[in-house]
Amino acid sequence: MLTPSLREVVSILFSKNGLEDLKDYMLNLGHWGPVFAISLMILHSVIFIPSEIILFANIYIFGFTLGLIYTWIGSMLGAYLSFYLARLFGRPLVVKFVSNEKLQKFDSWFAKNGLTGLFTLRLIPLFSFNLLNYGAGLLTITFWQFTWTTSIGIIPPMIVMAWLYVNSLQSNLGLILLLAVVSMFILIKFMRKKVQRTRLSRLENENE
């Protein structure tokens, strides 16, 4: 069986029977199906594909349990990739993925709260998964400290999002809840970016 082509997968997704065709295609790939699903989560760490979309697709294709497992494995491998890229190349590389302002806030939070603070941020889906991975690579923490805070911390929000998605397929109420949660995340992120732009503009005007 040949490895799946990303272009082929995209063309299937936008075909007339999109999701069903994609599900059949991925399941017919045998062991390459899970490998491809996991690889997408690893890519998420460097090209920032929305992780929720990958999670929903994995659950739709492989079922609730396997979908979660494949997403979790991919998330951990992607987290390690980001962590060690930050360790190897330092802040000059990290600021290409994460703004310096966010890194400074993360550094301050960790200085006050330590590993407990890092674990707490993992539990809150509003905080960027990639920010925490790259930011942690710049901290003086061990591989095992990074592993336990990440591996355990990402499970609750992942289960919640998966549960909302599954229920959205079964009832209108579940769909409403999922849309409400996703809309809230998008709105909060939009407002945060707007506030940051306003602050930056104000600082530039003060310096002129």
Q: What is the pLDDT of residues 123-164, one digit of tens each?
A: 887 677 888 888 888 888 899 999 999 999 999 888 887 877
* 137 CB-contact burial (10 Å; exposed 0-12 / middle 13-18 / buried 19+): buried
Residue (of 159, 145, 164, 6) closest to 72 by Cα position: 159
Q: Are 38 and 73 in contact (CB under 8 A)?
A: yes
Pick 190 or 55 by higher pLDDT: 55
Instruction: Give the global pTM.
Output: 0.70
The alpha carbon dihedral of 56, 48, 118, 198 has a sign of negative
Q: What is the pLDDT of residues 98-118, one digit of tens each?
A: 777 777 888 888 888 888 888
Confidence band of 47 (pLDDT split at 50, 70, 90): confident
Domain ranges across the chain: 31-207
CB 99 within 8 A of CB 130: no
Q: Half-sphere exposure (CA, 13 Å, Cβ side) for 94? A: 27
Give the residue with greater pLDDT, 93 vs 144: 144
pLDDT of residue 173: 52
